Amino acid sequence: MCVYAVCVCPTGFGDLRRPENVRIDSLNTRYVLRWDWPHETAANQTVTFTAQYIAAKHDEDWTSVCVNVLEHRCDFTGAEMMYWGLYLLRVRANTSRQSSGWVQIRFCPDKHAGLGPPSSVKLNTVGGDLEIIIRDPLSSNNESMKTLLDDKLSYLIQYWRRSEDPQAATFLPTKNNVVTVTKLDRQTWYCVRVQSCYNFYNKSSQMPYWRIFLYFLISLLLCFLLVLLLFFCFYKMSVLLKNTFWPAIQLPDHIQELWLSDSEKPQLLAPESRESVCEPLVMVRAVLDAEEVDEQSSNAEDQDSSTHGRHGSGDSGVYSAEEDSGRRSTSHADLQMSVTKHRGELHDGTLQQLCA
């Protein structure tokens, strides 16, 4: 516990009340001065605060850190205060018309500042043993606190089985940053916590139970994700094997009957029998040009007209136009039928060659 000496200066600045419950929250080299202001003021007045410090054994002027601030706190971390020095800190309230008296406390960082826990703790398994890697507490400048505490900084390691009560933990004091714990039971969960200690003033850091609980939750989450991943892989593998050896799509019934029937099973052709069933394929293009059709049509009309002329010479010389048109349509229909027949013969020949 930290004990502070509070000094109250005589009142000579009017009726404005002083701040109350002045205290300093400090951890390693982080210092924050705090106070309370439960008093009431006039509605048209704004209360601000001013905080200063001075070395206790030096005749120097006060150094202002916060001037006319509205917050009920002042951060002294950036002030040039030595860790082993002794200082006086004071604060007062201000308005536009008056100021209160100062409220002063004595502060020695080396004695009063709290010691923080290790900045990090890592666990590794080495050949069945547990390796604990401890990182020193850090100052406000991210420097190791060992540079300020020399060799007086040590650690207290506690470990116990997760199934047991933490009160039955095993204690292991050390000044090293890497410690190996042996003689542990295999296949057993262990809980570990590390405490920083400064024996000169009997200071020690608080055990971060929330970190232990957080590590426990993280380990459970990792185990759950691992089990879920294994289950997913097993499920995918089982589906793959099932689809491979027992497919859901079955062959049609008539194919299954042919497959199960020994007498009607499909047979592969032997290499020597391929020549008897394989013949060359010849493609014939059956295209009748339009000019050839027109030429044949014109020839047929000429022959029809000449024949009609010869017959007409032996007759009376008079004939009907309807007979001439009927003959022409008959000749054209016969020509179309002959062309269609010719194409059919070519197509049948092609199909026969394909079937052969």
How far is residue 120's CA from residue 122's CA, in Å, rounded to a whole number? 7
Which residues touch 277 (CB under 8 Å, ≥6 apart)?
269
Sheet holding 6-8: strands in order across? Answer: 6-8, 103-107, 87-94, 48-55, 63-69
**Do the beta carbons of residue 9 and residue 92 sit within 8 Å?**
no
pLDDT above 50 for 218: yes
Token output for 332: 């054209």
pLDDT at 194: 93
Token output for 114: 């709290």
All structural domains of the chain? 6-112 (2.60.40.10), 120-207 (2.60.40.10), 278-309+325-356 (no CATH)
Strands (E), 28-169: 30-36, 48-55, 63-69, 73-75, 87-94, 103-107, 120-126, 129-135, 153-161
**Do the beta carbons of residue 92 and residue 103 sit within 8 Å?**
yes
Range in 43-57, 95-109, 114-128, 239-253 the model is least confident about: 239-253
pLDDT per residue as tens digits for the range 274-314: 445 556 666 555 555 555 556 655 665 555 555 444 444 44
pLDDT per residue as tens digits for the range 99-136: 999 999 999 998 899 999 999 999 888 888 889 999 99
| Torsion angles phi and psi, residue 96, rounded to 5 | -70, -15
Cβ-count burial 15-37 (b if 16+ within 10 Å, e if not): ebbbbeebebebbbbbbebebeb
pLDDT per residue as tens digits for the range 153-201: 999 999 998 888 888 889 999 999 999 999 888 888 889 999 999 877 6
Instruction: Read off the pLDDT of each residue in 337-341 and give the average, rounded to a whole number.
Output: 58
